[in-house]
Amino acid sequence: MSQQALRASVEAAVGDAHRREWAFVLAATLRVTRDIDLAEECVQDAFAKALVTWPEGGLPASPGAWLTTVARRRALDLLRRRDIHDRSLPLLARSGTDDAGQVEEAAVEAATEVPDDRLRLIFTCCHPAIAPGSRVALTLRLICGLTTAEVARAFLVPEATMAARITRAKKKIAAAHIPYQVPALDELPARVEAVLDVVHLLFTTGHTAPAGTELVRLDLVERSIELARMLASLLPDDADVAGLLALILLTDARRSARVDSEGRLVLLAEQDRSSWDRRAIMKGVGLASRALHQRPPGRYPLMAAIAAVHAEAPSFEATDWAEIVGLYGQLAQVWPSPVVALNRAVAVGFAQGPAAGLAALDALASEPALAGYPYLASSRADFLRLLGRTSDARLAYEEALMLTENAVERHFLTQRLQQLDR
């Protein structure tokens, strides 16, 4: 293999490890440092070292374990050389060890209270002392290794705003001595809503990637499913937890049908429903049904119910759109959100016709949070096209195209424009 090919292979392997192992490595390193910034610095150093070391020694059998070992050793070295070990531990709750060697040993032990250190990190980031928006943003940054720009797109805010929000959240953790642990059982219900929001946004970011060449970021989807299942095992009687897991399973069940053999986007109306994951649908429908027994139903059980209506419909034409409109109406009362209003407007269009849907969408035109949201423009374009308003549809598709950064979605919108021209 040529040096150039070897370098490219290593860079690809490091990139894959970053997507898949970032959270594991950071959480394990944080158990040593008890300082988020220092842990991030050490993990970044480990990935940089991999780019230099792996071309010479070959790819390790377990990249995650290699990176964790390097990052943890780097952290212990810095703690010793800077003589900040005793001063860094109070930033987060101590784990009962003061000696650096004991800290290293504790870092490699399996977690006893929770099966995954990432869940500890989520609860740390979702502490009530941190502002709600910052909790989700910080967790996406630390758990998923998303860039600040990616997190900003997920929140529909400017990148500079998100950078400041994440920085403030980190400072709050240090200043408030927020513990790196899962809360006691009696404290879990009050904290779980913020954690559910994190896992849900993690899933939606992976389900349709804000940018890139692939429609789905499978690593994020898989992580969200794992974390939702962990929460369900921690809180088996919580209806919102069951609702979130149901929503994720039901939505992800359509994954294989969302793109064709050439990687092109396939809309829900045109998907091959026989390729949907029926096992995941059965599990999701059962969880959603159980979650809806709580009265009044919460946000995630209602969202799961909407997903269940789609999943159980034998065809797009047979979908009970009136029921979906009603469920979105209930959801808007429980969780008022511009995106919920947008989805309800689209459902109105399918239930009552494109003119009604377009009117409902146009009523959202002045909503600031949707100003840069491409799905508002693309939904308007679809209804305008169905109404025969070709010129207006073209403008709406062009607007959606300007706001869309995912390559698969951009290709779809470009095709729509070409169809209008023909």
Q: Where are the domains of the chain?
A: 1-109, 337-422
Reported as a single tens digit per residue, the pLDDT across 221-234 is 988 898 899 888 87
pLDDT grade for 268, boundaries at 50, 70 and 90:
very high
Q: What pTM was computed for the model?
A: 0.74
* Range 59-78 average pLDDT: 89
- Flag the least confident range among 141-150, 266-275, 291-300: 141-150
CB atoms within 10 A of CB 333: 10
Q: What are phi and psi for residue 400, nearest 5 degrees?
A: -60, -40
Q: Is 115 exposed, middle or buried (0-12, 13-18, 19+ CB in 10 A)?
A: middle
Q: Which residue has the higher pLDDT, 114 or 19?
A: 19
CATH homologous superfamily of domain 337-422? Tetratricopeptide repeat domain (1.25.40.10)
Q: What share of the chain is helix, strand, coil (3-state, %, to 5)?
A: 75, 0, 25
Q: Which residue has the tokens 């511009």?
A: 338
Task: Judge whether residue 97 has pLDDT over 70.
Answer: no
**Strand 405-406 relative to strand 211-212: parallel, antiparallel, unpaired?**
parallel
Q: Which residue has the higher pLDDT, 252 or 18?
A: 252
- Flag the least confident range among 7-11, 85-89, 216-220, 345-349: 85-89
Q: For residue 92, what pLDDT is reported?
A: 57
Percent of the residues in the chain that have a pLDDT greater than 70, as a whole number: 91
pLDDT grade for 156, boundaries at 50, 70 and 90:
low
Q: Which of 116, 8, 118, 120 is nearest to 59 (CA)?
A: 8
Task: Judge whether residue 21 has pLDDT over 60.
Answer: yes
pLDDT grade for 86, boundaries at 50, 70 and 90:
low
- Distance (Å, rounded) from C-alpha 150 to C-alpha 154? 6
Q: For residue 303, what pLDDT is reported?
A: 98
Which distant-in-sequence residues (6+ apart) come within 8 Å of 244 by Cβ?
196, 199, 200, 228, 231, 300, 304
Task: Judge whether residue 163 has pLDDT over 70.
Answer: yes
- Flag the least confident range among 101-110, 113-122, 170-179: 101-110
Q: For residue 178, what pLDDT is reported?
A: 81
Task: Judge whether residue 375 has pLDDT over 80.
Answer: yes
Residue 111 carries which DSSP code?
P
Q: For residue 148, what pLDDT is reported?
A: 84
Q: Which residue has the higher pLDDT, 71 or 113?
A: 71
* Range 292-314 average pLDDT: 94
* Range 204-218 average pLDDT: 89
Q: For residue 100, what pLDDT is reported?
A: 46
Q: For residue 175, what pLDDT is reported?
A: 84
Mean pLDDT for the chain overall? 86
- Distance (Å, rounded) from C-alpha 403 to C-alpha 357? 21
Reported as a single tens digit per residue, the pLDDT across 108-128 is 443 334 446 777 777 888 888
Q: For residue 94, what pLDDT is reported?
A: 46
The angle formed by the CA atoms of residues 58, 63 and 68, to the nearest 5 degrees, is: 125
Reported as a single tens digit per residue, the pLDDT across 382-419 is 999 999 999 999 999 999 999 999 999 999 999 999 99
Determine if the peptide bond prior to 296 is cis (ω within 30°): yes
Task: Judge whether residue 300 has pLDDT over 80.
Answer: yes
* Range 37-47 average pLDDT: 90
- Distance (Å, rounded) from C-alpha 325 to C-alpha 30? 45
pLDDT grade for 102, boundaries at 50, 70 and 90:
very low
Q: What are phi and psi for residue 303, nearest 5 degrees?
A: -65, -35
